[in-house]
Amino acid sequence: MKKLLVAVTGASGQLYAGRLIEIVKREHPQVELYTLFTNTAKEVWKEELCTPASPHFTKEFLIETPKESIDNSSYFHPFASGSNPPHAAIVIPCTLSTVGRVASGSGGDLLARIGDVMLKERLPLIMAIRETPLNLIHLKNLTKLAEAGAIIAPASPSFYHKPKELIEIVDNFARRVLSLAGIDTIRHRYTP
């Protein structure tokens, strides 16, 4: 059984993570899914997905924070060790401060440690950055990560599939990221 870690940081774009998690749960029961939320991610998630004031507050976009999330402040998780890493880790949406911590190898929380483990074990680490514009420090950190083996996947949606609804744009990107993690996805139009 493939182990997949989906780590969510405090960048805007929580919908990408929510849909990716839902796709894995709905379509890939053979994948052992783990989620990790930074403290800021939990707040942004609530703001973007769980309140009537949210721009995406509709039946299909109301996504609760997974209750079985890994504690980001504790290093006592098997994924903190190179002897038991996940098969792939996706950081979505990924802040550039997270990029900086992982690129420097300085740790600071479980997410940064897992990023370090993924790189040293040469396993897929996909960082779906969601910030713009980028300054020179960001670009250098992203280059360091790419040179170390990370996959940098900016949350830049495509429009080749002629989406008619926002959910189609989000799902298309989520499926692309899952594909980068080695999880085949069924490409179909979302129907609530």
For 112-144, what is each residue's pLDDT tens digit? 999 999 999 999 999 999 999 999 999 999 999
CB contact set of 99 (below 8 Å; sequence gap of 6+): 127, 129, 138, 141, 142, 145
Domains and CATH numbers, the chain: 2-180 (3.40.50.1950)
Q: What is the mean pLDDT of residues 19-32?
A: 92
Residue 49: pLDDT over 60: yes
Please state which of the ranges 6-20, 35-49, 90-104, 119-133 shows the lowest mean pLDDT.
35-49
For 157-178, what is each residue's pLDDT tens digit? 889 889 898 888 999 999 999 9
Tokens standing for 19? 């849909």
- Which residue would you say has higher pLDDT here, 68 or 92? 92
| pLDDT given at position 97 | 96
